[in-house]
Structure 1
Amino acid sequence: MARQREFDREAALETALLAFWRHGYEATSIAELTAAMGIRPPSLYAAFGDKRRLFEEAVRRYQRTYGAFTTRALTEEPTGRAAIERVLRETAAEYASREHPAGCLIITAAVNCGPESAEVEALLRGFREEAKAAIKARIDDDVAAGRLPAATDTAGLATFYAATIQGMSTQSRDGARYEDLLAVATLAMSAWPAPAVVTTT
C-alpha cells in the first residue's frame, strides 16, 4: 500500500483557517480545503477527523493568534475603560488589515448556516458570549473600584460594546477602512458612563 503523503500539519491548519475566514464554514468545501492545503481527502480526515473538527481547530488557532489581541487588552490594561478602548482601537486595526481576510472569523464564519451546522453556530456563539462576559467583567471592575456609579448597567454596556465589535467586523467585510472603523471606536467610547461622583461630608 502506498504511503500517505506527509505534510506540515500546522501550515495546513493555517491554510484552512484562512479559507474558513474568507469564505465561511458552509461555503468552504472539502475539495476547496484539500486543494488549498495541498493534500488529499484521506490525509485531511486522518489528520483532523472531519471538516467540523478541522474548523474547531482552526477557530482555536485563530484565538491564539489573530484574535489574541482582545484577551491581551482586557487583561493588561489597569482599568476597564482603558481595556475596552484598547480593544476597540485594536479591533479597528485588525479587522481592516490587508494581511489577512477582513473582519473576525468567530463573528462571520457561521453567518447564514443551515440546520446541519447548528453545532458550529453554537460553538461560535459560545466564544462570542465568553468575549462579552470578559468585557462585562472589566466594566464590573471599574464599578467595584468606584470609577463608575454603582447603578451602571454593566450587562447592557457589555452587550453594546460586543454589538459594536460585531458591527465593525461586518463593516470591514463591506470594505470599511481603518479610519472608518477607528471613528466607530471613538464614537462608541462616548457612550461610556460618567465617572462616579464622590461626595464628601
Structure 2
Amino acid sequence: METKQTGPIGRPRGFDTDEALERAMLVFWEHGYEGASLANLTGAMGISTTSMYAAFGNKEGLFRKALERYTEGPSAYLTRALEEPTAHGVATAILAGTIRTTTRPAQPHGCMGVQGALTVSDSGREVRDLLVAWRNNSYSSVHERFQRAVDEGDLPPEADPGLLARYVTTLAFGIAVQAASGVDRAELQEMTDAALHNWPLS
C-alpha cells in the first residue's frame, strides 16, 4: 500500500511556516499572549500542537517570532517614518501609521506590541518584559531621530528630544488603546491633528 509522504515528524505535508506564523500573529494580536490558547493558535495555523512545538519550540517562542513578523510587517511604518526629512514629518508619519495600522477593517484593532501582555500571570512575565523592551526600543529610535533634528537645526536648540519622543510614542500607544476600544479613524485623526498643532519649529 502506498503511504503519503510527510515532512519532519509531527509536521504534515504542506506545512507552510510563513503562512502559519502570519495566522499566529493575528491570533496574538487579537487576543494577547495569555488570551491566545494553544487550541486557538494551532487551529488558526492549521497544524497540530506537536508541529507547533517542533517548529517554534513553545508558545513563548511562537510569540517572539510573531512579534518579529509584526515589527517587520504591520508595524514597519515606524522605520519608514524615521526617514522623513523633518521632525514634524516624523511625528506626523508615526501617528498616521499608528492610526492606519490599528484601525484596518481586515485586521485586529489596536497594537500587538501594546496590548499583547499588559496583564499576564507570572508565567508570562518574560513576554511582558519582551514587550516593554519592544516599546522602549521604539522610544529610543524616535529619541535618536529627534536629537539629530536638534543637532541639524530642524528643531529649536531648546527643544527636548527625549520629551518629544516620549510625547509622540505615548500618543501612538494611546491611539492603539483607543482603536482597540472602538474609537474610529476620523476621531483619532482629529486628536492627532490637535496634538501636533503646537509642534516646536526652528
- Note whether the superposition's TM-score is higher than 0.5: yes
TM-superposed deviation, 1:109: 0.6
CA distance in 1, matches of 2:47, 2:109: 26
CA distance in 2, matches of 1:147, 1:41: 53
Report what 2:132 is aligned to. Answer: 125
> Is 1:107 aligned to residue 114 of structure 2?
yes
Q: CA RMSD in A?
A: 1.4
Report what 1:177 is aligned to. Answer: 184
Which amino acid is the alignment partner of residue 29 of structure 1? S
Report what 2:63 is aligned to. Answer: 55
TM-superposed deviation, 1:36: 1.6
> Is 1:16 aligned to residue 11 of structure 2?
no
Q: TM-score, normalised by structure 1?
A: 0.91
Report what 2:3 is aligned to. Answer: none
Identical amino acids, percent of aligned pairs? 35
> Is 1:116 aligned to residue 123 of structure 2?
yes
Q: How many residues align?
A: 193
> Is 1:168 aligned to residue 168 of structure 2?
no
Answer yes or no: is the 8 Å Cα contact 1:92–1:185 preserved in 2: no
| Cα deviation code 1:40-97 (max 9, x no counterpart) | 111110011000000000000111111101111112x111211111111222122111
Q: Which range is displaced more, 101-110 or 90-99?
A: 90-99
Answer yes or no: is the 8 Å Cα contact 2:87–2:155 preserved in 1: no
Which amino acid is the alignment partner of residue 151 of structure 1? E
* Structure 1 stretches of 4+ moved >2 Å: none
CA distance in 1, matches of 2:138, 2:175: 15
TM-superposed deviation, 1:17: 0.4
Which amino acid is the alignment partner of residue 100 of structure 1? Q
Answer yes or no: is the 8 Å Cα contact 2:114–2:135 preserved in 1: yes
Answer yes or no: is the 8 Å Cα contact 1:161–1:188 preserved in 2: no
TM-superposed deviation, 1:148: 2.1
CA distance in 1, matches of 2:38, 2:166: 35
Q: TM-score, normalised by structure 2?
A: 0.90
Which amino acid is the alignment partner of residue 121 of structure 2? G
| Cα deviation code 1:84-138 (max 9, x no counterpart) | 1111122212211112111111111112112221110111111111111111122
CA distance in 1, matches of 2:169, 2:106: 24
Where does structure 2 lack aligned partners over 5 or more consecutive residues? 1-5
Report what 2:39 is aligned to. Answer: 31
Report what 2:103 is aligned to. Answer: 96
CA distance in 2, matches of 1:182, 1:128: 22
TM-superposed deviation, 1:190: 2.0
